[in-house]
Each structure stands twice: as structure tokens, then as C-alpha cells.
Structure 1
Amino acid sequence: MAPKRQRTQVSSSTTDSSSASAVRLRFSTPDVEAKYTRLLSKPIVKERGFLPSGKDGKLLEMILEMGWVPFCEAPTAVPMSVVCEFNVNAKAKKNGFTVVRGMTVEYSVDTIRRVIEQPARKPGQDTWNDKTSEDFDLVLIVATLCVPETHWKFKRGTTDYSTFPVSSMNKFARAWNAFIISNIMPSSHMYDVTVECTRLLWGILQGDYVDLGMVIYQGILRFLRVSTTGSIPYASVVAKLCVIVGVHWPTHKQLQILSAPIDRTTLATMQEWDGGKPDLKGLGYSFDHLPGERPAVGAAQSSKTAWRS
């Protein structure tokens, strides 16, 4: 016998009236429904596929090694109404469950891990999620990732680090950052790298195990705390969570959220610093002589890494 569908109090007769097969939207109170209407006017974070070729440094090799191929696939179009209903009802319930089209949808860490096909941690592999801020030397990280004379900007009126420019990194690190701010830690910082994204980028480049399910779950919770402000994150993950419990929607009601995938064409547009050779994983540059040094005449130069203390 099929399980009974959970019943939810309906406060209005709001329907998707553009379709003859419309499914009634369900909200616990008129206030929740009003928040849904407001959320419909918000933009969605433009998620991107990460599809490098075997000739793009070691990007493809790294994706395969981490088992992230399913997660890096180009996301499909998703329905705006379903994503918004998920979020406003999740904010109202605040218990790890929400209601979409009358169906109970769970968004626990384990469920998110399942829908994104997160791989298991390998024996002996460091776990990025277990590290604290003290485990990251932000000055050394920037010195290692960036061209010489790159510095952190500070938060206004403080000595706390804020951002550094994306353009100071080689294109392979920039590609990872573009994927991070679209799919893992959504951010409006397109031209600067935040502290939070820097730590995640460093973990990826070091080969740490990243519990994506936990990161996305925490990101959903952050958005729910301010669910009527900012762009709506993780739309494709939300759609997958809804699909596995049987939520359906008319195909013509989908919202195309794809941006151009991060692929060889995208990487070709990322201008490189001409002072050295980029590391194939994204860890800065190497060159024959440091900026300001005169190369020795008639002598082979040792390769040096572009970093400053």
C-alpha cells in the first residue's frame, strides 16, 4: 500500500493557474504565502557545470580523484515556484523538513549527500570540514596562490581579512573559485575571493575530503535565516530533493538557471599572468627568476615559486 501523503493546512486557494493540471500550493499561514509571493521576485544563483578537458591542467584529474563527476555535471532547469515553496515552508517549519505541493521533503545532511551522489571519504584522507580557522594561514595561502605583491583587503575599520582579487590567481584556481561561488558557497563576489571561499579552495587544492552535503546543508540554513533577501541558492539541489519524494511540475514551468559551463572555452578567456608558468592544479606560478631579479647570463636558472611571505 502506498504511504499516505502528509496533510498540511491550506490557508488559500493559490494555484498554478497557467496549467490545466495545476497543483495546489500549500502554506501553513497567510504570512508564509505572502513570503512565497515576495520570494518569487528574487533571482536564483546561476549554478554552473564544471566540465574541463584533459588538457586543462589537472582540473579533470582532480574532479575524477575526488569523485565529483556527478556533482560537476551541468545542472538542469528547475521550477521557480517549487524552489520558492520549498524555502518558505522550510523557514516556517525549522525542523529539517518542508512541504512542497503537499509532499513532505527532507533536507538533512544525509539526504543531500544522497542526491548529489557524494563519494565516501578515503582512508587517511584529511577532512576539510573538521578544520578550524586556526588551521589556515591566510597570508601564506595568498602568497602561494597569487602573483607577487598580492595582499588581503581588510574589512572596513578592522584588521580582519576580507578579500583578495580573483585575477591574481592562475586560471585553474580561478576556475575552482568560479565553481565554488556558483554551486558550493554561493557568493556575489565575482571579482574578489572571500575568506570562506579561500579556505575551501585551499582544501580542494590540498586534496582534502570535503563533505559537500554538510556545506550545502549549512548554506541552506543560512539562507533560511534571511529567506527573503539575496539570491536563492542551491536551486538544482532543492529540485532533486523534491523529485525523490514524488513532487512533480509541468515542464513548461521550469526556469532555466544554467550559466555557461566552466569548460575549456571559459578557461581560454581567463588571462594569465605573463611572469611565470602556472601550476597545473592552481597553486600559483613558477618562473626562472623572481620579479626584479636579473636572470644570470649563460647559467641555467632554477625554478622558483611565485610567493611572498
Structure 2
Amino acid sequence: MGSVLTRGLETAGSGTLVSEAAVTEAVELASPVEWGVPGLEDARRLGEGFVVLGAIEVLVFGSVARGEAVDGSDIDLVAVFDDLGDYRCRPDLERRLVKRAGELLDFEVDVWVTDRPEWARRTTVVSSSLEAAIADEAVLVAVRGQCNDTDVDWGKEIGMPPDNRAEALSRLEDVRNALSRVEDRLDEGPREQRAASVGSARRHSEARYERMVDVCVHSQKAIESAMKTVVCLVGGSPERIHSLDRLAARIPSPYRDVTKSATDPANKTTLEEISLWHRAGPYSDERPDLTLAQIEVTAAELARIACDTAETLVRHFEAADDARTLIADIADTVGTVRVVLANPYN
């Protein structure tokens, strides 16, 4: 019957049941390389390993594909299967391929799993998609050799958004989710409450500071997602851009009002400084050097800008039935956040 891995790959529609011996041989033949600058040969090695596990073709994109990789760069790969069937298998397949990559090479590897129908539509019809953004630079590093068209349902509903409108709605959902996190983090958390209960001013301040960091991070995410929503609506490509300046430059005049609050010269925080919070959350050494009082002011301003931006954005969707639930959720969350901002932080 095979292992959970091989049975899972067969169920995913790879078209070929991979033998335990083939998997074992592929791993045993590959020994981890020394850490350094990843290149196309490394990507090919990974691609060949993924083909053994059922992928029809493997492409590399990003810095390795462009020949711009440096020490510590990730290897970004797309593993294309014939037909995944149930797209709910995608996260598990990605985890398994990343695990296999770690057994083959000593580099950080990111893997996007897709199938032929989804890849074809996303690269040709959805101009705002990641797939369309990377298609021109992607380099084919491995191919199985023979496609199995009889196992491919070309007319099926794909797992990712099938057009630019749907892609924009997925970004609008990101706006809603980010604002919800802003709302959650504006309230005092259990760490602060515990610190206060034991009279530890230091621990209370540290927990409060981290909460303000989270407000800044999620506010930046809401603003970025709002701008990306507009770029998707007009068929542009917002993928892999976190600079709000660059995103704002891609927004045409009918939607320029979405950028108004973030670009207001009266703001204490510039658009470039807001952009930095994309990395400042996970990487503490990239955070601005702010005191607790300063970051409280910054968090309040970014949360207010996020609310302004979201409110302006949803006006462009007001007559749309497909966005009704998202609009209602965003309006409710913005209202709650504004009430909190009108009063001192908890």
C-alpha cells in the first residue's frame, strides 16, 4: 500500500504511485551541501527530488532564477502536479516537499504546490496573481518527461482565485483579518494583567511595548493589503511588493483616494516608515528605536490610517454583492477600533 507519503501523493493526483525504494534511493544519493550561495544546480537537484515524488515539473523563481542570490538566500520553487484533485491536500504536500528539500540540501527552501489547470489559468488569466508575476522569470529545473492529460480536469474549479476580481476580494479579506488583529491587540492582554497583578512595572512595560509593536505590524498589513486590493482590481501585479510607496505608484487616479490617509504630509510616520513594519514584527533588530511613549503614538497613528484606508477602499465595493459580508465586517471592526482610539490605551 505504500507509506502515508506515497499514498498521499497518489491521492493528490500525481498520476504515479511513488515506491518507497525510489524515495529512499533519492534521499540516500543526496548528501547535504555546505551553506553558501544557492544556485540553479541546487534548484535542479531539488527539482529532480520533487519529480521522484510525483511533480510533473518544477520551476525556480526569485533571486536564484535571476542569478542574484547571496549568502543565505532562499530557494523559491513551484512544484506543478498533473491534477491535485482536492486542493485541501496542498498544505500537507508543501510541508512534505519542504521536509524532503531539507534532506537534500542545506538551504532554506520555500515551495508552492499547484497543478497544471491552476498554473495555466493563473499565469494567463489572473494578471494580478503570484503565478503571473513570476512566470517570466521562472526557470524550469526539472520535468517528469511525459504529461498525463487523461488524468487532468482542465475545466474544474481551481483552488486559487480564478480572475482578478476574485484575487482582489481575497486581498480585501486580508484587510479585514489584519484590522481584526489590530482590534484584538488594542486591548490589554493577559501578560500585562499578570505583570500588574504582581506589581512588576518592567514586565508590564515590556508586554505593553510588544502589544504596540503588534498594532503597528497589523496596521501596516491592513494598509498594504488595501493598496494591493486596488492593484488587483485594475489587473496589476502587487506580488512580492511590501513598499507602500511602490504600491501607491501603481494605483490609478480613480482609486487614488485609497492612498490619501497614508500619504498625508501631516502624518508623523512617513509611507516609507510604515512599510518598515512589514519586517519589524518578526525581526526585532529592524524595528525603529522608539520608547514606549513613542510607539504608543505610532501605533495609534497607524491604526487610524489603517481605518481611514479601509473605509475609503470599501466605498469602491459598496454596490457589490460579492463583497457585502467583507464590507460589513470591516465597517464593524473599524467602528470598534475608532472607539478605542478615541480613548487612552487600556
Considering the TM-score relative to the shorter chain, is it more than 0.5?
no
TM range (shorter): under 0.3
TM-score for the superposition, normalised by structure 1: 0.26
TM-score for the superposition, normalised by structure 2: 0.24
The higher relative CO (CA closer than 8 Å, separation ≥ 6) is in 1
Comparing both structures, which one devotes a greater share of its residues to helix? Answer: 2
